[in-house]
């Protein structure tokens, strides 16, 4: 078992918020942004903003402006200029090539149909969603555009999450050889996030619990590329009354920016910060000043999800 300890060194706390521009922020994403912001600012840290805009078919026009305006309205001012993944395509290719040179990757031409058949239920209704390495040792014809997969090893990788405690995953068994670059040429989230976090010198990642499962893949990639591993904190996700995660897929509404101070107060309640009643109605900056000084994650650690 490999236990990964964060390696933030003596560097100044550097965190980030990395929304995908697939629509305006909803309450769930703003909740994560606020947690990430407060955690950084409470440690006098830097807080960066990255726009995860690689998945171009899913990007929605106008989302970036809406996201930036929403963060501004809620007083979540980021440091420096906004980092756009779409401006770093050469960086992803550079590091992908490094992995290829070390034979950590292989080209995969399995079609969607092959994968759909593989991942469908078998006669005993067992679900298979681990790619069984069909193309690992195949020679791939040059005229077929391949996906690039990472070879995973059957080792257990463990890390300490600041809220969720010790998390262990067996990469090969639980995730299999995962994709770094899709057949359509789009760099996969798993890979881009590792390169971006390294290029931005991120040493603290605060994000939603829905990405907890993905973290071991990212740590594995950091090790292969010689990057340091940030500290991780996965906050609970917000669910609706039916228990579904707020997301664009469940048609979660865009955050209303008309009365940000009142929404911010409600978010601090959801974040288990227990803001005193007399702060309900004060300005956004007054509320944030209070929240930065009083930021505490003890009660948050007891929740797996937070219902509206």
Please identify, using beta-carbon distances, which residue of 26 and 207 lies nearer to ligand GLU. Answer: 207
Give CA 142 to chain center in angstroms. Answer: 33
Please identify, using beta-carbon distances, which residue of 110 and 180 lies nearer to ligand GLU. Answer: 180
Q: Does 177 bind ligand GLU (CB under 6 A)?
A: no
Please identify, using beta-carbon distances, which residue of 18 and 99 lies nearer to ligand GLU. Answer: 18
Q: Which stretch binds ligand GLU (CB under 6 A): 14-22, 66-74, 240-248, 284-292?
A: 14-22
In whole angstroms, give the CA distance from residue 181 to residue 199: 19
Sequential DSSP letters for 289-303: HHHHHH---TTGGG-
String of contacts with ligand GLU for each residue 242-261, x by CB under 6 A: --------------------
Number of Cβ atoms within 10 Å of the Cβ of 298: 8
Which of 142, 300, 138 has its CA nearest to residue 208? Answer: 300
Number of Cβ atoms within 10 Å of the Cβ of 147: 21
Long-range CB contact pairs, 282-287, < 8 A, 24+: 284/73, 284/74, 284/75, 284/260, 285/75, 287/75, 287/261
Please identify, using beta-carbon distances, which residue of 20 and 63 lies nearer to ligand GLU. Answer: 20
Please identify, using beta-carbon distances, which residue of 87 and 283 lies nearer to ligand GLU. Answer: 87
Which of 255, 254, 280 has its CA nearest to residue 265? Answer: 280
Residue given tokens 């359509």 in the structure block: 184
Q: Does 20 bind ligand GLU (CB under 6 A)?
A: yes
Nearest residue to the partner ligand GLU, using Cβ: 52
List binders of ligand GLU among 36-75 (CB under 6 A): 52
Number of Cβ atoms within 10 Å of the Cβ of 148: 19
Q: Give the count of residues interacting with ligand GLU (CB under 6 A).
A: 7
State in angstroms the smallest separation of the CB of 64 from ligand GLU: 13
Q: Does 235 bind ligand GLU (CB under 6 A)?
A: no
Q: Does 211 bind ligand GLU (CB under 6 A)?
A: yes
Please identify, using beta-carbon distances, which residue of 108 and 180 lies nearer to ligand GLU. Answer: 180
String of contacts with ligand GLU for each residue 76-115, x by CB under 6 A: ----------------------------------------
What are the residues whose beta carbons fall under 8 Å from the beta carbon of 48, sequence distance 6 or more? 14, 15, 16, 17, 78, 79, 80, 83, 200, 202
- Residue 136 has which token pair? 């690992």
Q: Which stretch binds ligand GLU (CB under 6 A): 16-24, 99-107, 121-129, 171-179?
A: 16-24
Interface residues toward ligand GLU, by CB under 6 A = 18-20, 52, 193, 207, 211
């Amino acid at each position: 078992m490999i236990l990964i300890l964060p390696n933030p060194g003596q560097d100044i706390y550097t965190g980030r918020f990395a929304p995908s521009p697939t629509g305006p922020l909803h309450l769930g994403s703003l909740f994560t942004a606020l947690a990430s912001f407060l955690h950084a600012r409470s440690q006098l840290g830097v807080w960066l903003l990255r726009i995860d805009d690689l998945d171009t078919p899913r990007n929605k026009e106008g989302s970036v402006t809406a996201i930036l305006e929403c963060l501004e309205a809620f007083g979540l001012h980021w440091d420096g200029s906004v980092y756009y993944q779409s401006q770093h395509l050469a960086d992803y290719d550079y590091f992908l090539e490094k992995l290829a040179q070390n034979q950590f990757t292989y080209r995969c031409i399995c079609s969607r149909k092959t994968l759909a058949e593989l991942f469908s239920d078998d006669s005993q209704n067992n679900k298979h969603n681990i790619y069984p390495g069909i193309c690992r040792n195949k020679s791939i014809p040059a005229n077929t555009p391949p996906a690039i997969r990472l070879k995973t090893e059957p080792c257990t990788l463990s890390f300490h999450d600041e809220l969720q405690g010790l998390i262990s995953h067996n990469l090969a068994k639980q995730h299999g050889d995962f994709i770094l670059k899709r057949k359509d040429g789009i760099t996969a989230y798993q890979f881009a996030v590792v390169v971006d976090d390294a290029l931005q010198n991120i040493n603290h990642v605060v994000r939603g619990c829905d990405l907890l499962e993905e973290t071991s893949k990212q740590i594995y990639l950091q090790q292969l590329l010689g990057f340091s591993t940030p500290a991780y904190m996965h906050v609970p996700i917000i669910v609706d009354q039916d228990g579904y995660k707020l997301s664009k897929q469940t048609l979660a509404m865009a955050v209303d920016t008309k009365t940000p101070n009142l929404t911010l107060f409600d978010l601090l309640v959801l974040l288990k910060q227990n803001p005193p009643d007399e702060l309900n109605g004060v300005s956004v900056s007054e509320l944030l000043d209070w929240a930065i000084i009083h930021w505490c994650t003890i009660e948050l650690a007891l929740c797996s999800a937070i219902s509206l």
